[in-house]
Amino acid sequence: MANLSAKRLARLQSQRAGTVAALDIGCSKTTCLIGRPDGSGPRRIQILGGGRQQTRGFNGTGITDMEGLERTIRVAVEDAEREAGEPISEVILGVSGPQVTSCLVEAQIEPGGRAVTARDVRRLHTQAMARVPQKNADILAAWPVVYTIDRAAGRVRQPVGMIAGTLHVRMAVITAPKSMVRNLVECVGRAHLGVTKLVPSSIASGLGTLIEDELENGTICVDMGAGITAVSVFLNGAPAWLGLVPVGGQHVTADLAQGLGTTFAAAERIKTVFGTADLEGPGLAERVEAARLGDDGRLHATRTERGEIARIIAPRIEETFELVAQILETSDVRKVLPHRVVLTGGASQLPGIREVASRYLRAPVRLGKPVISEFLGETLATPAFSTASGLILYPELGYADAARAGVASTEDAAGSGTWVNAALRWLKDNF
């Protein structure tokens, strides 16, 4: 491991400008992508290399083995560097887990009938961020969802230059426990990598999967991972809300292992090859190979009907979408929920899952794969790599992250009585 570190440190000075690297740490796999924008558009990127490893030491809620996760990161990054032919020193890191939460905050200022300036917008963002509850939590990101001028019905995307008596903003803010975030950053740092951005993985999945029309007109993105199903809502071209359901593909596999009396690895193969969530589809009477554990504790070849496999899988998939529907109905954006749904993530590839989703969410559903599939190659151009592709696209998509305004407001509040801080605030507002 020491040699691995020395090699990277010795090569960092040779890293070519413009290279972007993304690191997605999931429950089942860790993926690193290295790419370089080609300059012809925000979704045009040359993928230089990719690496993936089975995740060790991370269960979706937090780190369980720091050394195991560090080793996973190192090997995944080394594989990507080897394929790209150049080292990396920084990554955009995806953060996931049921403790990642979302809230909407609002703020208002009064320009007094003059044109709104960039300074006004920064001040508005700062006021909004000051209202975010931050007890033992770090702000990962904040995005303005909609501006309103003089409480008019029309929604404004960019208020700078418009005449306004009052300017109101509704902002989506994503937070995560400080301990979880800092342990993840520390673990990545042990692999001699800096973290340039922290992006919620569920938001990255949407950005990596949704087309422009879906982002602009509103869509619900459901990312079905191994341990977690993440739900993100996009409105007016911006991330507006996220929620997480602690159920994923591994739970389906565990149900199969219990129901069929087999090992987890054998159940994963049965699910992948013969599994379906459709209880009324064709071929359910077909008998397929499904190894089971015998009295000697070894796997023995047996055969079972596909219908039996489906009857074990379907209840868990139905439960998953029932929970997704419930959190959407209680979300901050329940009154303006879009009526389009995109499924992505590795577990979304199970046959019949689209029909179950459509029934429970009462909306048309499509299966989404990375929008940069043409650049990823056959191996990575699947829904399982939507998050990693969204992370590598994030800097190019140009989302206005207002999280720095929140940091600034916290610093200002800590020293608001000193003339030094007053001078710094004046400089920040005016320059």
- What CATH number did the domain enclosing 140 receive? 3.30.1490.110
> Does residue 297 fall inside a structural domain?
yes
Q: Is residue 10, in this structure, part of any structural domain at all?
A: no
Q: Which two tokens stand for residue 232?
A: 């993100």
Nearest Cα neighbor of 402 from 90, 107, 93, 95 is: 107
DSSP state of 89: S
Report CA torsion sign: 111, 117, 120, 124: positive
**Gyration radius of the chain over CA positions:** 23
Last residue of a domain, one of 275, 292, 317: 317
- Check: CB of residue 279 under 8 Å from CB of residue 314: yes
Give a yes or no: residue 309 inside a domain.
yes
The domain of 135 spans: 101-177
Residue 381 in domain: no
Per-residue confidence (pLDDT) for residue 254, from 0 to 100: 95
Q: How far apart are CA 191 and CA 90, in angstroms?
A: 10
Cβ count near 112 (within 10 Å): 8
Whose CA is closest to 396, among 378, 377, 371? 371
Residue 202 domain-assigned?
A: no
The residue out of 317, 343, 370 marking a domain boundary is: 317
Which residue carries 């959407």 as its tokens?
328
Tens of pLDDT along the chain (431 residues) come to 444 444 444 444 434 458 899 999 988 899 999 999 877 666 778 899 999 999 998 887 788 899 999 999 999 999 999 999 999 999 999 988 778 888 899 999 999 889 999 999 999 998 998 888 777 788 888 999 889 998 876 678 889 999 999 999 999 999 988 888 899 999 999 999 999 989 999 999 999 999 999 998 999 999 999 889 999 999 988 899 999 999 999 999 999 999 999 999 999 999 999 999 999 888 899 999 999 999 888 999 999 999 999 999 999 999 999 999 999 999 989 988 999 999 999 899 999 999 999 999 999 999 999 988 888 887 788 888 899 999 999 888 767 677 654 343 334 433 434 434 444 444 444 44
Torsion-angle region of residue 367: left (phi > 0), alpha (psi -120 to 50) or beta? beta
Number of domains in the chain: 2
- Beta strands 365-367 and 341-344: pairing type? parallel
Residue position matching structure tokens 């929920």: 337
CA separation, residue 139 to residues 34, 195, 240, 245, 429 (Å): 26, 15, 15, 21, 21
The last residue of one of the domains, among 287, 317, 347, is 317
pTM: 0.84
Report yes or no on 124 lying in a domain.
Answer: yes
158-162 — which CB contacts under 8 Å span 24+ positions?
Answer: 159/116, 159/120, 159/121, 160/116, 160/117, 160/118, 160/120, 160/121, 161/115, 161/116, 162/115, 162/116
CA distances from 344 to 37, 206, 208, 317 (A): 24, 8, 10, 14
Domain of 311: which CATH number? 3.30.420.40
Give pLDDT, residue 271. Answer: 95
DSSP string, 225-243: -SS-EEEEEEETTEEEEEE
Residue 117 lies in a domain: yes
Instruction: Identify the pLDDT of residue 426.
Output: 43
